[in-house]
Amino acid sequence: MGRTVLLIEDEPNIIEAISFLLERDGWTVRLHSDGVDAVSAVYRIKPDVVVLDVMLPGRSGFEILKELRQDMALQDLPILMLTARGQTKDRELAESYGVSAFMTKPFSNTEMLDTVRALAERAGA
């Protein structure tokens, strides 16, 4: 069974880099770039792991994370949050909403792969 990552990101160069990296590692990468309907994309795609950017058009990654975690069925969904601003308050806010992991851009390819793999293993994907 293939493993699926839903990448919720709006920067083309980041999308391209992460997609290439994960696809080469055997993941199916599904893309979504709008914050407004990102939650419905999670329900529709049912990914094994979500990679969620903080700054999205229409709605912040924090709001999306908070809404996803309010659904009991999604409490254990691994969510990796990406931010260009690695401020402590962003990390604390994400953790208070139940983020699985937090990564600051720019990140290394190894860091991204290792984190996504670890999240999937913890979730049993």
Task: Fill in the amino acid letter for 49.
Answer: V
- Binning pLDDT at 50, 70 and 90, where does residue 125 land? low
- The answer to whether 80 and 107 have CB atoms below 8 angstroms apart is no
Q: Beta-carbon neighbour count of residue 57 at 10 Å?
A: 9
Q: Which residues contact 18 (CB under 8 A, 6 or more apart)?
A: 7, 9, 29, 51, 112
Domains in the chain: how many in total? 1
Q: pLDDT for 84-122, tens place per residue?
A: 887 899 999 999 999 999 999 999 999 999 999 999 999
pTM over 0.75: yes
Identify the domain containing residue 116 by its residue range.
Answer: 3-123
The domain that holds 59 is classified in CATH as 3.40.50.2300
